Structure 1
C-alpha cells in the first residue's frame, strides 16, 4: 500500500515558465496582509478591525487578550515572552442567540478568522434574547446554555505546560470533553429544533467553550509531529483538530507560520486539509496533488467574481516548504459510509512538497498545484480507507476471508469472518442469536406501560413518558448518538405505540456497522469494523442466555471454563465519559455509576452474537450501558455497547471485562481464577476476570 506511485501526477501546463512561481520572493510581512481599516471589507464586527463573531469567545485564532496592544501575528507561535499564551480575560458564556452560529465558506482563503457579521445592533438583540430566555427559564422552559443560577463553574485542571505541549492522554482528554459537550449542546438544540425548526452548529459552540475554558492542548505551533496525535486518528469536526493543535484554522485548508531565528522570514506550511473543496486528487495512498487556496474557491456564492489565485499566505507557505523541505501534516477528508452527509477527517501523517506549478481551473482562473509525497516508513492510514472501499465495491477480495456472513442473514449488515494469521477456518460451534434469551423470569422490574406517542417520539416532548423516565431528556441525538451514560437507560419497547423507526429504539435495531470477526495473533478471535465509529455510537448488544448466580457457581465449581460470561456483578474501573456540567453552567445531574435493579449474568458460550468476540483491554475503546425496555409484557435489562471515542476503521474493539470481587487474593485456579491480560496497554493491570 505504501509504494512510490506517481500515476496521478498532473504535469505542468505546456509552455509554462515555472520560474514565475519558484523565484517569487516572500512577502516582507511575516503575517497575512490585511487592508487598512478604511479599505476593510464590510465586516464591521470582525477582527482585526472589530470584535469577535457574535456569540464566540476570542480564542486563537480569533484574537489575543486585551493586554496586548499590537496587532496579532497570526503566523507566529502563540507564546508570550514568559510562557504560553494566556487565556482570554473576559468570561465566556455559551451563545444563546438565534443569530448566525454557522461558519460560512471562507471568503478570503486565510481561514484565521471567519467573515461572520457581528454588529453592535445584533449584539444588543442577543442580550435581550438572552434576558427573555432567562425569564422563561423560571417557567420551566429555559435555555440550559445560560446560567441557571446553579453557581457551578468549571476550572480546567490542565497546566499551562499541558496546554502548550500535549501527549496521548491529554489529546484523548480534550477530545472526550469536546465531544461530550457537543453531544449535550446538540441534545439541547434538538429539543429546541422540534419547536422552532432551526438547526444550529453544536460543534462550533462546543469548540468555543473548550478553547476558552482551557480544555485544549498542543497550542505551541510547530512543524512536524503533534504530540499525542497518532497517524490514522479520525475527526468528525474541524474544531476537534483545532483543540488538539493538529490544524489551527477552523476553515482554511492550509495552516502555516513564519520561521524563527537567523532572520528567517519565510512562512512555511504546517498542515493541510484535503477535503474536496478544490480540485484535489487523492487517489494514490502516498501521493497528493493539492490545489492552492483563494481566487476561485469552491464557494456556494455563484455571483462571486472569478480570480486567479495569488502567491500569498498559505500558497506562499507551501511554496516555501518546497524549498525548505520541511514536513507537512496532511489530513484527508473522506465521506462517511454510515451517513453520506458526514465528512470524516483522517490524519494521514507527514508529507513533503515535491513540486509546484500553475494550471487553469474549471472556472477558467489560474490555480496553484502542489504535489506532495508521503514520508516513507509511516503506518498506513488513508491507504486503509482505500482498501476498504475496494472491498465494499467488489473491486478486490478481502484477504483471508473465511465467511462472507457468519450471521447467515440474522443481522441487517453481514459480519464477515477473516483469518490472516493461521489456517483455522471455523469457529467453535454456537447458535447465532441477536439478543438475550431469558430461560426463566428475571423480571424484577415493574412492567412498563410505554409512551403515548402516535408517531416517532420527539425530543423536547414533555408528554412522552419514555423521555420522562430518562430524566426529561431524549437520551440520543437526532442521528442516534448516545449523549451521556445513564444509571439505567430507558428505550421505547413493543408496547409503545410510536413507530418502529423511533429514535429511542437505537439498541434494538441490530448491527448497523460493517463488522468483521478476525483472528488475532495472541488472543483468539476479535472484532473490528470496516466503518469508522464516532463517539457515542451504538455498536451491538451482548447477546446470550441469561443465567442465575446458582448456575454460574455450578459452572465454576465444576471447572467449566466459560470464557463468554458477562457479569454486571464484577468490579469495573470507573471512568468519566459524560460532559462536564460546569462547562455550560449546569448543575451536576446523573451519576455515571450504574443502578441495575438485579444482577445480570449472560453466557454467550452456546448462544450469542458478535458481542461475544469483543476482547478485553485495560484501556478499552468501548463501554457497556444497561438499557431497559419492555418485551413480552415485561421489562428486562439488556447490555448495549457504545464507542468511548472516535474509532478508526480496522481498529480492534475492546471493553473492560472487570474483575471478580473474590479475586483480591490473586488466585490463579478454581472459581477465583484470574486470566492473564495481553492487551498491551500502558495501564494494563496484568489480569482480568
Structure 2
C-alpha cells in the first residue's frame, strides 16, 4: 500500500477564553427524519434458529427472516446523537496512527459486541492518499453502503409481510427500515470512521455520492448526527475546550439560508419552535460556536446538500458537494424579527464539480437536452420508440456513430424450441399475488421483490409471473419484464470507448434493463465464431448477484442462496447486428451493476433472461459498469466497445 498518513490535527491550544459549556440544542433539519425511536424491550429468550437444510427450498427465506428478527429482539435502536464508536481497525492499510495515539484493547469495540462507547473527539486529517489507498477505501465504503442498503431493503420486505397479515414471527412494533439497518451494523461494529474525527474528505467517499437517509451518512462517517445540521466536536470533549465543526447539511429549509452553490449563507441553530419557526434570539454556543471556531482556525468543513427528489424512497436525498471554508460570521436580524447567526461558507477551489450541480444538469438534460447541450447528440431516440423512455446517443469526441447502425432490441430473442420446453402453467391469482401462490412457491415461498419493485437479494434464478398467470400487470412479481424505468444515454468516452449512464438516480436493487441479443445454439456458435462475429457468453459473467443482499457480516450462519438451481449456461448471445443499450456498458472489476437470471415468458431454466440490477446507488451521469468476467479473445463486449 502507499504511504497515506492519518495526521493529528494542528494544535488548537492557544489560551482560550472562559470555557463554554455547551447546551446541547442542535440545529434540526425541518421536516427531516425523526430521531430514532425507542425499540421494544429485548426478548428474554431469543427465538431458536432452525438449522438450514440445503434440500429444503422453502425454508431459507424463513430462516433468514428468523435471524433478522432474532437480532432485533436483542438490539436497541440508535441513540439520538449517533455518538457510537464501532470497531477500529489499527491495521487498516495506509492509515498510520499518530505516535502516542495507538489504540488500546480496552478502547476497541469488538465486532458483534454490545458495548457502546462515546464517539472519539480526536481530530485528524488523512493525507498522501495513493491510488491503491483510494481504491481500497472506495471499496470499503462501497461494501459498507451495499450492506446498509441490503439490510434496509430486507427490513422493508419484513414490514410488508406484517402489513399483509403474516405477523407470526415479526416483532409487535414496526421500526423504520433505515434505522433497523443502521442499528444492526452498529451492533456488529460496521460503522466507519468513528474512532477518529476526520477533518476534510472522508477516504472512500467522493464528491457526487448520494445518500437517501441521514443514518447512512452516520454509517460511513460523513456526517455524525442523525438529525442535527452541524456536526462538531463539543467543547466538553475537545482537548482545548473549544468546539470545532467538521460538516454541515445545507437543505434550504431555514428561511434565512441562502445557497448559490459555491457560496452559502448558512443560518445557525437555536431559537426555533417545533414547527421550525424562529421565536427567540440565537446564541453563540454549540454548533454556532463550533462554526465560528472553525473559521478562526481556518478548518475546512464538509458540505452535504439535502435535496427533494421524487426518485428517493423518502422524497429527499443527500449529496456530498465537497469542502468549504467559513470565511465570515455575523449576527443579524432574521426574517422573523429575531437575531440569528449567519455564516458565509465558500467552496475551496480545484475540486470536481458539485454533485448537486450534476443532478440539476441531468434533470435539465432529460427534459430539454438540445438546450443544455446543443452539440454532440447523434440521436435522441436510439431505441426508435421501442423503450418507454428514449435512449440518447451522445458523442462530442469523434465522428463514430456506430450504434445507430444496429437494430435495437428490447428483449432477448430465443430459439423457437425454448418456449416449448416444460410446463406452461402459471399462477391462478386474480388480484395481487401472495406468498402461497404457484409462482411464489417456485421462488422458495416468497417473492424476490418488495412492493416497490426492488430486488431484496440476488438469487441463482428468479421466476416472475408470466403471460399464463392470472394476476394483473401491477403484480409485485412482474418487474424486469416491464422494461426501462429510467432515462439513459449511450455516450462516447475517451477511457472506455462507448459507455452508458443514467439521467436519473438509480436506487440500489432497482431494475435497469435486460442484456439483450440473439441466443445461438451450440452449432450456430461454431459457425459464427468461424466468421469472426462478436458473441457474448453468459456463463462468463461474474456471480455478482451473490453480493446484493449478502448478510454474512450480520448473521454468522448466513448461507448464500442455492435455489432454484440453474444448469451451466451453455449458449452464446449474438450482439453483432441486434442489441440494446446494455451492450455498451463498460467492464469493471468493481461494478455497480449485477446480472440476475430471470424467467417469465417460458420455463426453460437453461435459457434465462439476463436482467441487470443496480448493485449500489448510482448518481445521475455516473457510468454504469458490469463484471464481464475474464477478458480474453472471445469477449465480445471488449471488441464492440473499443
TM-score class, shorter: 0.7 to 0.9
Aligned to 1:569, the other structure's residue is in SS state: helix
Any conservation in 2 of the 1:488–1:628 contact (CA below 8 Å)? yes
Partners of 1:543 and 1:644 in 2: CA distance: 19
Count of aligned residue pairs for this structure pair: 553
Deviation larger for 638-647 or 469-478: 469-478
Asked if 1:415 is matched to 2:345, the reply is: no
Q: Pick the aligned partner of 2:302 from 329, 336, 357.
A: 329
1:183 aligns with 2:173: no
For residues 219-261 of structure 1, give each alpha carbon's deviation from its aligned partner in whole angstroms, at most 9, with x where no partner exists: 1112112111111111122222111111111111110115899
Q: What residue in structure 2 maps to residue 620 of structure 1?
A: 591
Choose which of 406, 413, 429 in structure 2 pairs with 1:437.
413
Match status 1:146 vs 2:69: yes
Give the CA RMSD over aligned residues.
Answer: 4.1
Distance 1:147 1:387, change over 3 A: closer
| Residues 451 and 492 in structure 1, CA contact (< 8 A), matched pair in contact too | yes
- d(CA) in 2 for partners of 1:286 and 1:513? 29
In structure 1, distance between residues paired with 2:29 and 2:313: 26
Residues 73-129 of structure 1, C-alpha deviations (whole Å, 9 max, x = no match): xxxxxxxxxxxxxxxxxxxxxxxxxxxxxxxxx797899x986675xxx856x6489
Shift of 1:618: 2.2
Per the alignment, do residues 26 and 629 of structure 1 end up closer, same or farther by CA in structure 2, a change over 3 Å counting? farther
* 1:430 Cα offset (Å): 1.3
- Is the 8 Å Cα contact of residues 259 and 265 (structure 2) preserved in structure 1? no
Query: Within 5 Å, which residues of 2 pair with 1:491-570?
Result: 491-558=464-531, 560-562=532-534, 565-570=535-540
Tell me the CA shift for residue 536 of structure 1: 1.1
In the other structure, the counterpart of 2:286 is 313
How do residues 280-679 of structure 1 correspond to structure 2 at under 5 angstroms? Answer: 284-296=260-272, 299-300=274-275, 306-339=279-312, 341-361=314-334, 363-380=336-353, 381-394=355-368, 396-398=371-373, 399-425=375-401, 427=403, 429-443=405-419, 446-457=422-433, 461-558=434-531, 560-562=532-534, 565-570=535-540, 572=542, 576-581=547-552, 583=554, 587-588=558-559, 590-591=561-562, 595-596=566-567, 598-630=569-601, 637-659=608-630
Tell whether the 8 Å contact from 2:247 to 2:303 is kept in structure 1 after alignment: yes
Partners of 2:554 and 2:186 in 1: CA distance: 11
SS across alignment from 1:293? coil
Separation of aligned partners in 1, 2:591 and 2:474: 30
Q: Measure the CA separation in 1 of the matches of 2:275 and 2:90.
A: 40
- Distance across 2 between alignment mates of 1:678 and 1:427: 10
Cα deviation for residue 382 of structure 1 reads 2.2
Contact 1:288-1:373 at 8 Å conserved across structures: yes
Q: How many Å separate the matches in 1 of 2:380 and 2:222?
A: 38
Distance 1:283 1:426 in 2: 43
Call closer, same or farther: CA 1:114–1:394 in 2, change over 3 Å.
closer
Find the residue that maps to 1:427 and give its secondary structure: helix
Q: Distance in 2 between matches of 1:360 and 1:133?
A: 61
Normalising by the residue count of structure 2, what TM-score does the alignment of the two structures yield?
0.76
Query: Is the contact made by 1:629 and 1:636 (CA closer than 8 Å) also made in structure 2?
Result: no
Partner residue of 1:209? 184
| Distance 1:373-1:157 versus aligned 2 partners, 3 A rule | closer
Structure 1 unaligned segments of length 5 or more: list them.
1-24, 36-105, 150-155, 680-689
Cα deviation per residue 1:615-654 (whole Å; 9 max; x = unaligned)?
2222221110100112599996211011111112111111
Query: Equivalent residue for 2:23?
Result: 33
Contact map agreement 1:518 1:527 (CA 8 A) in 2: yes
State the 1:511 CA deviation: 0.9
Unmatched segments (≥5 aa) in structure 2: 1-15, 51-58, 73-85, 93-108, 110-119, 121-125, 127-135, 168-172
Deviation for aligned residue 1:389: 3.1
Deviates more, 1:358-367 or 1:221-230: 358-367
- The answer to which of 200-209 and 385-394 deviates more is 385-394
Q: TM-score, normalised by structure 1?
A: 0.71
Does residue 246 in structure 1 map to residue 222 in structure 2? yes
Q: For residue 162 of structure 2, what is the aligned residue in structure 1?
A: 192
- 1:583 match: secondary structure: coil
> In structure 2, do the counterparts of structure 1 residues 109 and 636 end up closer, same or farther at CA, with 3 Å as the change threshold?
closer
Quote the offset at 1:332 in angstroms: 1.0
Q: Distance in 1 between matches of 2:617 and 2:238?
A: 42
1:205: Cα distance to partner?
0.6
- Paired residue secondary structure (1:641): strand
Instruction: Provide the C-alpha distance between the structure 1 equivalents of 2:215 and 2:385, rounded to a whole number of angstroms.
Output: 39
Residue of structure 1 equivalent to 2:247: 271
Over 3 Å counting, the alpha-carbon distance change for 1:522 and 1:315 in structure 2 is: closer
- Note closer, same or farther for the CA distance 1:445–1:27 as it changes in structure 2 (3 Å cut): farther
Q: Secondary structure at the match of 2:145?
A: helix
Give the distance between the partners of 2:409 and 2:245, measured in 1 at CA.
53
Deviation at 1:508, TM superposition (A): 1.1
Query: How big is the shift at 1:271?
Result: 0.5
SS of match in other structure, 1:145: helix
Matches within 5 A, 1:53-64: none
Contact 1:308-1:366 at 8 Å conserved across structures? yes
Task: Confirm or deny: 8 A CA contact 2:267 2:340 kept in the other structure.
Answer: yes
